[in-house]
Amino acid sequence: MVDEPATARDFYVEHFGFAVVEEWGGAMIIIKRGDLSLWLAGPDTSAAKPMPDGRKPTPGGWNRIVVEVDDIDATVARLKAASATFRNEVIKGPGGSQVLVEDPSGNPIEIFQPRG
């Protein structure tokens, strides 16, 4: 779920190298990077319809995609220069380095650089 599909599309294309696969009237956009397809569903799509118990799907939870990068520091610097919102600072662990950044609708993206 995203607030504005075109804004989300531009964010993922510019900052993470996704390519547009399909656009449906601006309400739904499918983008792809390698084997990962991401469906950017806006508030006018069936994906936004309330659940039987009345809850409405909204962006911004904690489930996330992971985008692997070669240089996490350069990626973070580029995103900070673009005023992206980060949920934390880079964490270094036994498997590599990671940080959470939000797309324009508040959905988390984990940026991950494997330990080399």
23 in a domain, yes or no?
yes
Domain hosting residue 75, numbered range:
5-47+59-114
In a domain, 54, yes or no: no
At residue 89, the pLDDT reads: 96
End-to-end CA, the chain: 34
Q: Please count the structural domains in the chain.
A: 1
Residue 26: its pLDDT value, please? 86
pLDDT in tens, 24-81: 988 999 999 999 999 999 998 988 999 999 999 999 988 899 999 999 999 999 999 9
